[in-house]
Structure 1
Amino acid sequence: MEQTASGPAPEKLSLKVKFVYGVGAIEYGARIFVMGLLLFFYNQIVGLPAAMVSLALSISLLIDAFWDPMIGHVSDNLRTRLGRRHLLMYLAIVPFFVCFVLLFRPPEGLTHWQTFAWLLTFLLLTRFSVSLFEVPAAALGPELAPDYHDRTVMMGVRYALLIGGGAVATNLGYFYFFRPTPEFPSGQLNPEAWGPLTLAVGVMMLAAMVICTVGTHHRIARLHQPPVRRASLKRTLGDVAATLKNWNVGVVVVAAMISGMAAGVYSGLGLYLATYFWGLPAQQVGVLEMARLLGAVLAAFIAPPLSRRFGKKRTTMGLFFAAVAANSAPYILALAGLFPGKGAAELLPLLIVFRFFGDTLAAGGYVVVTSMIADVTDDALAKTGRRSEGLLMSADSFLQQVTTAMSAMLPGLILAAVNFPDRPAPGMVTDAMARELVMIYLPVTIAISTMSIATWAFFRIDQKTHEQNLRTAREAMARAEAASESGEPPAVGAPVTSGRI
């Protein structure tokens, strides 16, 4: 068996297992696409004021932020015949599908506040149910692939499939269901298109969740089972505090928290900008979005070798900074009068080039960051003797969701600031409104993204630290197993210096 400085080399997964596990991310990619259109759908199609839609999105994200760590901690400590993760993943599938489908089908004739109540109710139910799948599935990754570099490869496969799910959903939307009609030349404004689209995407997400859960079922017997412990509130809170008291966890959480703000703004305004600033019909928006698929596939190949050559931290920071520049350039050039205008023949090809490079760079950064977050779970394991992937992976999203919840109000407020109309008739949205929208959107997202990327400079785990963590973790878990039998807190071995506070 291959050896490392910390002993026998960790098992490397087959491509089949990496692929089946990654299929679960298709659900996430498709859901990002459709849920990112919620503000547009409820504002431009249903007619609910943008500020009310943003309020519902904000409330649901804020509540969901507290729900995820609870699921993560429960998942970490479950002892069932289906292991720690799979029971929750199985339970999530049907409720999520039902709630998601109903979310995009508000009854006709409701008042604004009744529509708001429908939106908020099914947003909450959709987010709650999908968390039962996503939190355990994300926590499954670090345990499936403990090897430092093999983990990055698996995350690359997972991210490529995530973007693939978004690309398929994009294809269904912009090339099929949003086809232009005489009444609606911009098919995304056709109310009749949204029901079939969301049903088709819902079925696709349902299938992805089933394949991931059933396809990794055979690994249950090889996964960690938590020791039997006498649980108490004091002990549970102590376990959570010990796990989260980690410098690298803090770096991850702060970086995610800041990036969540930019994500909230982009998610809410992306289709508005494509439709009204660039003047793209549905098919051209679809072509532009499809550039992400090729970018994600390329990123899955370039991220692992770049990470090996330059290290994970330097790679992810460089890729993210370059991505911000590439994605911002078209807007900056357009505001300066140096980019083709609406309807120009060269507009779409140039946007595709910038989008391809920007999303390739961003996807590569995301692949490496996901691997870095997984490394944190081993760092925490070495210090506590407990496997807490669920808690740590959800802690990563906790403050991100809190800040995304707060920033979810921003798109609605920005639209109100430029007097953007609800469910507008043709011609109501002027070029001046669209330009003013970009002039607010651009500096906000650049500034927030830059702060988030800079935070990764404080990350302290490299390959040498990771391998030492694996050795320390094996010893610490053995002591934790022995301590659990006596009911005493585990005595964790001397932790490595990196990552300690």
Structure 2
Amino acid sequence: MSDPSTLRLKHVLGWSTGGLATAVYLGITMNYFLYFLTEGAAISPGFASVVLLAPRIWDVITDPIMGAISDRTPGRMGRRRPWILFGGMLFSFSFYMMFAIPDFDSEMARGLWVMFFYLLVGTAYTMYEVPLNAMLPELSQDFQQRGRLASYMMIVIRAGLIGTMLIGPFIFAATEDLAVGFRQVGLFAAIVIAGCSLVVFFTTQDAPRTEFKPVKMNVLSELKALWGNKPFVILVLVHLVKMTGIGAAATTVIYYLVFALKAPEQAAGVILSIYAAAATAFIPFWMWVMARVGKKMAYSYALGFLILSMLPLLFIGPNTIAGSFSIPYVEEIVSGGVVAVAIAMIVVSFGDSGSILVPNGMIPDTVEADELKTGTRREGTIFGAWAFSRKLGMALGAYAVTVFLSQTGFIAGAAEQPEQAITGIRYVYVLFPCTCYLLSIIILHRYDLTEEKFKSIVSDLASRDEKR
């Protein structure tokens, strides 16, 4: 078992730095990837939906398998670190290649190129991220300390999102050819990802870790056993539904700003970075709420606030606030509606901050619940399934956006869109996510792993270990 006394600052900082690669990946794929497909690669929304969703089918296989492999990897480097290094390098290479589309005349050829490397990116990201997250319950077995570790990681991810959301549009909009601009975005991301994997690998060399216990690998049996872990199943279902809403909102936001509010692309980057910065600033508050009322209630509060704060965005138009304004780092003048959205999104970020932070502090607690029931620690399998639920939710959300765009007459590559398409953008940006968040609250009501119950589980495990 891991020993909390051996956890040092360099381990916490090094492990948390790994979240920066996650931030770059999420910031680009969630907010700008569909925009790259339709506006940079000139791929229709219908075909783009296939490009986005097909690789997620592969994740059904790779995520749980990677978790199981990670749990069973022997060696003096530990179970997780070799995969973080190798997966990180492949992640870096494939991410760049995804945006480096050759000059194909065929839309089919462009789409297949992106889809192949997007699939490879997803596989490599799984190899990197599942072991990285599986290290959390090994670093500490203390209920509150795990919440703090998750908070540190979340701060890094949020800081990375700020930079990615801000820098991304300035890079891809710096040239008239969006395809060239996005290739430069891919290069920037590849460098960051490779650097993060090296930092994590070298700083966690002597970090706390659980001992490897050879167990015959049977992924289907392990996944079946996970369904008997009620707290885990509920959290995964909540996460899947919530991430579907977040995936839809994140994918649509640049369309909402550019087409519904007539904002320049660079302004979208500034607004998104303000949003991420505000969400980061609210993390300490949600840490306090978790400690005060418990993780389940904190999660419910965050989702509820997210619903209430997003609804006004449905009604904001270019002239909601009269006049024109200038935004730092943006050459073009923007409408008052863009300023109104920037203010509203700061409010939204309050709920978003808690809805992302809290569940990442809850999922490690299901490891012990699973161990008590099965007699085996399976951090990798659990976090593999957790990663899959997030990626599938993001993909389903993005897919919902492509369906809305296709059904409402969105024209890929056109500077002006029909009014029906703009209405569709508003609905899929606000109403669809809010519906997902409401369903998440309803499912979360059945979660029952409290701090007291967790401490009892840890005590039972300790007693069982003493008898062996």
Give TM-score scaled by structure 1 length: 0.84
Aligned-partner SS, 1:224: coil
Say which of 65, 84, 103 aligns to 1:108.
103
Kindly indicate whether residue 455 of structure 2 is the aligned counterpart of residue 461 of structure 1. no
Post-superposition offset of 1:10: 5.0
Are the aligned partners of 2:170 and 2:269 in contact in 1 as well (CA < 8 Å)?
yes
Once the two structures are superposed, residues 106-157 of structure 1 have per-residue CA deviations (whole angstroms, 9 ceiling, x without a partner) of: 1113412222221111111111111111000011112212211111111111
1:379–1:75 distance in 2 versus 1, CA, 3 Å: same
Higher deviation after alignment, 312-321 or 347-356: 347-356
Post-superposition offset of 1:339: 6.0
Structure 1: distance between partners of 2:270 and 2:155 = 18
Are the aligned partners of 1:10 and 1:146 in contact in 2 as well (CA < 8 Å)?
yes
Structure 1: distance between partners of 2:36 and 2:139 = 38
Where in structure 2 are the equivalents of 1:405-416 lying within 5 Å?
A: 405-416=395-406
Say which of 12, 21, 31 aligns to 1:18.
12
Structure 2: distance between partners of 1:176 and 1:405 = 25
Report the residue type matching 1:463 in the other structure.
E
Post-superposition offset of 1:207: 1.2
Post-superposition offset of 1:197: 2.0
Aligned-partner SS, 2:282: helix
Say which of 422, 425, 430 aligns to 1:442.
430
Are the aligned partners of 1:62 and 1:401 in contact in 2 as well (CA < 8 Å)?
no
Are the aligned partners of 1:30 and 1:167 in contact in 2 as well (CA < 8 Å)?
no
Structure 1: distance between partners of 2:412 and 2:372 = 54
Once the two structures are superposed, residues 327-385 of structure 1 have per-residue CA deviations (whole angstroms, 9 ceiling, x without a partner) of: 332223549x9666997654343322221221132112321211111111122122222
Kindly indicate whether residue 370 of structure 2 is the aligned counterpart of residue 370 of structure 1. no
What are the ranges of 5 or more consecutive residues in structure 2 without an aligned counterpart?
Answer: 325-332
Are the aligned partners of 1:65 and 1:399 in contact in 2 as well (CA < 8 Å)?
no
Higher deviation after alignment, 396-405 or 20-29: 396-405
Structure 1: distance between partners of 2:107 and 2:222 = 45
Once the two structures are superposed, residues 284-322 of structure 1 have per-residue CA deviations (whole angstroms, 9 ceiling, x without a partner) of: 212211123422332331122111111111111101211
Say which of 30, 33, 38 aligns to 2:27.
33
Are the aligned partners of 1:92 and 1:129 in contact in 2 as well (CA < 8 Å)?
yes
Say which of 252, 272, 284 aligns to 1:289.
272
Higher deviation after alignment, 394-403 or 95-104: 394-403
Once the two structures are superposed, residues 252-286 of structure 1 have per-residue CA deviations (whole angstroms, 9 ceiling, x without a partner) of: 12112212322332243221111111211123212
Are the aligned partners of 1:12 and 1:147 in contact in 2 as well (CA < 8 Å)?
no
1:447–1:369 distance in 2 versus 1, CA, 3 Å: same
Report the residue type matching 1:210 in the other structure.
L
Would you say how many aligned residue pairs link Structure 1 and Structure 2?
458
Once the two structures are superposed, residues 136-185 of structure 1 have per-residue CA deviations (whole angstroms, 9 ceiling, x without a partner) of: 00111122122111111111111111111111122222345524x7xx5x
Kindly indicate whether residue 144 of structure 2 is the aligned counterpart of residue 144 of structure 1. no
1:330–1:240 distance in 2 versus 1, CA, 3 Å: closer
Structure 2: distance between partners of 1:192 and 1:74 = 38
Structure 2: distance between partners of 1:39 and 1:157 = 30
Aligned-partner SS, 1:218: coil
1:70–1:10 distance in 2 versus 1, CA, 3 Å: same
Report the residue type matching 2:263 in the other structure.
L
- What is the aligned partner in structure 2 of residue 330 from structure 1? 313
Aligned-partner SS, 1:421: coil
Once the two structures are superposed, residues 163-219 of structure 1 have per-residue CA deviations (whole angstroms, 9 ceiling, x without a partner) of: 11111122222345524x7xx5xxxx7443222222112211221222122221221
- What is the aligned partner in structure 1 of residue 168 from structure 2? 173
Once the two structures are superposed, residues 17-46 of structure 1 have per-residue CA deviations (whole angstroms, 9 ceiling, x without a partner) of: 322211111111111121122221121122
- What is the aligned partner in structure 1 of residue 213 from structure 2? 227
Post-superposition offset of 1:451: 0.4
Structure 1: distance between partners of 2:90 and 2:210 = 27
Report the residue type matching 1:124 in the other structure.
L
1:338–1:109 distance in 2 versus 1, CA, 3 Å: closer
1:415–1:76 distance in 2 versus 1, CA, 3 Å: same
Where in structure 2 are the equivalents of 1:307-346 lying within 5 Å?
A: 307-334=290-317, 346=336
Are the aligned partners of 1:47 and 1:422 in contact in 2 as well (CA < 8 Å)?
yes
Larger radius of gyration: 1
Aligned-partner SS, 1:309: helix
- What is the aligned partner in structure 1 of residue 344 from structure 2? 354
- What is the aligned partner in structure 1 of residue 45 from structure 2? 50
Structure 2: distance between partners of 1:248 and 1:339 = 46
Structure 1: distance between partners of 2:109 and 2:179 = 19
Higher deviation after alignment, 65-74 or 355-364: 355-364
- What is the aligned partner in structure 1 of residue 373 from structure 2? 383
Task: Report the aligned-residue RMSD.
Answer: 2.6
Report the residue type matching 2:74 in the other structure.
R
Aligned-partner SS, 1:217: coil
Structure 1: distance between partners of 2:198 and 2:97 = 20
Structure 2: distance between partners of 1:9 and 1:203 = 34
Are the aligned partners of 2:96 and 2:190 in contact in 1 as well (CA < 8 Å)?
yes
Question: Could you tell me the percent identity over the aligned residues?
Answer: 17
Structure 1: distance between partners of 2:85 and 2:96 = 19
Higher deviation after alignment, 201-210 or 26-35: 201-210
Higher deviation after alignment, 347-356 or 104-113: 347-356
